[in-house]
Amino acid sequence: MRRRRLQIEAPPDSALVDRARAMSRPLRNAEDLGPLLDRIGDARYVLLGEASHGTSEFYTWRAEISRRLICEKGFHFIAVEGDWPDCMEINRYVKHYPGPGDGAREVLGAFARWPTWMWANEEIAELAEWLRGHNAGLASERRVGFYGLDVYSLWGSMYSVMGYLRKHDPAALPAARRVFDCFAPHGEDEQAYARATRWADDICEDDVVALLTEVRRGTRARLDRTEREAAFDAEQNALVIKNAESYYRAMVRGGAGSWNVRDRHMTETLERLMRFHGPEAKGIVWEHNTHIGDARFTDMADDGMVNVGQLVREGHEREGVVLVGFSTYRGTVIAGDEWEAPMERMPVPPARAGSWEAILHQAGPEDKLLIFEDEDRTGPMAEPRGHRAIGVVYHPAAERLGNYVPTVLPRRYDALLFIDRTEALHPMPVTERQTAEPPEMYPSGV
């Protein structure tokens, strides 16, 4: 989906810059996160964004926030914009389950689908080792988990379901084989299946729904904690298959449909994780700003799009929901210049004049934490302005023609971390698993 070209924002007046300066708190180390922890309070849902998928500081600051939430407020898991089967390998590693690998870097080799750098990077390896150390000696039910929310892993989830059923529920294997046989003519190419649905209705829809029903029937009786998580994993993979089939069918039709299927799936997965962890569960989400920042306060709403931040706010406001955006003025980033292109370390040019990033830079070049108050939702900061969004496909030279989401900043988020100058992520070498073409995303590669 192409973003509409924005008009250049009007220069900010002094009141807006003054307000941004006055509300900015220093952001130098983990101790400076205290005001954010106070704002979070007893909230059960904390959603942490990023303005790109390839910026080191976005990962390291989210890790610092997550550590404090886990240690000081008893949060139960981190759920990320990643594939469920791959993230389950990290979950098994940090929870000391047998088999995933001898170290975080070995386990992260599971992230073989482009863009590999999103999760196979040194920043995540460090966090995974910390989680494993934190979980050491804890009872299994108290160990902090790491899960994937995304919908893309149709074939990976299919293989996982079949492996589970062979071991635990052979009677359900025929349902899985029907799904496998339905997709098999298209190879492991989800887009080929999607294109085929243009000429035939609901090719595999009934089969994937039947599989989910069958898996759910067989997983209800497994109550032991370790087996219960394995059963939950199987059921989630069956849900991914069902929703991935819907996603790829919607993709070929264009419009907002595929985006909404994806974000509704991620929200459903988050809610399932909360139920799995019990009535007092607290969850941390890591996703791009375009997913966790409330879509109602961007131009996404004009296109009929919803997102995770909006859906979680609408569904769980009474339980406490805090949305935290991230932003940068300039720096470097890891991205590709087209889908499945080799990763590159690219420059991030100074932000466009009049954008939120330029205003925050003008308010002072130091890193900042902003906590939005009620007065900001009607005051000088309530004006929509461009807010930078960099996807996995990025063209720095053309950035000023796009990459900016019109945003009412203090309504889209509850807080914002602004890093004036950022550095590129530190990817790990992996063997990439290719896909045929990019899924439809918003903006490019998010």
Whether pTM > 0.85 for this model: the answer is: yes
On whether residue 368 sits in a domain, the answer given is yes
On whether residue 130 sits in a domain, the answer given is yes
Q: How many Å from the N-terminal Cα to the C-terminal Cα in the chain? A: 11
pLDDT of residue 415: 98
On whether residue 273 sits in a domain, the answer given is no
Residues contacting 2, CB < 8 A, separation 6+: none
Q: Are residues 143 and 217 in the same domain?
A: no
Strand partners, 121: 427
Of 262, 292, 315, the residue at which a domain comes to its end is 262
Residues contacting 366, CB < 8 A, separation 6+: 24, 26, 27, 420
The number of domains in the chain is 2
Q: What's the CA gap between 291 and 309, in Å, rounded?
A: 6
pLDDT of residue 441: 43
Q: Are residues 159 and 219 in the same domain?
A: yes
pLDDT of residue 442: 43
On whether residue 155 sits in a domain, the answer given is yes
Question: Could you list the residue range(s) of the whole structural domain that residue 199 is in?
Answer: 151-262
Question: In CATH, what number is assigned to the domain containing residue 58?
Answer: 3.40.1660.10
Q: What's the CA gap between 208 and 67, in Å, rounded?
A: 38
On whether residue 25 sits in a domain, the answer given is yes
Q: Are residues 246 and 307 in the same domain?
A: no
On whether residue 268 sits in a domain, the answer given is no
Residues contacting 27, CB < 8 A, separation 6+: 366, 367, 368, 369, 417, 418, 419
Q: Are residues 309 and 333 in the same domain?
A: yes
Q: Are residues 434 and 372 in the same domain?
A: yes
Of 197, 229, 262, the residue at which a domain comes to its end is 262
On whether residue 442 sits in a domain, the answer given is yes
Q: Are residues 346 and 211 in the same domain?
A: no
Q: Are residues 321 and 446 in the same domain?
A: yes
From residue 43, how far is each of 97, 128, 311, 320, 329 by CA, in Å? 29, 24, 16, 4, 30
Q: Are residues 67 and 115 in the same domain?
A: yes
pLDDT of residue 151: 95
pLDDT of residue 402: 81
pLDDT of residue 279: 95
On whether residue 21 sits in a domain, the answer given is yes
Q: Are residues 38 and 83 in the same domain?
A: yes
Q: Are residues 166 and 18 in the same domain?
A: no
Which ranges of the chain have pLDDT less than 50? 1-6, 436-443
Q: Are residues 199 and 228 in the same domain?
A: yes
Of 214, 129, 146, 145, the residue nearest 175 (C-alpha): 214
Q: Are residues 288 and 244 in the same domain?
A: no
Strand partners, 418: 327, 368
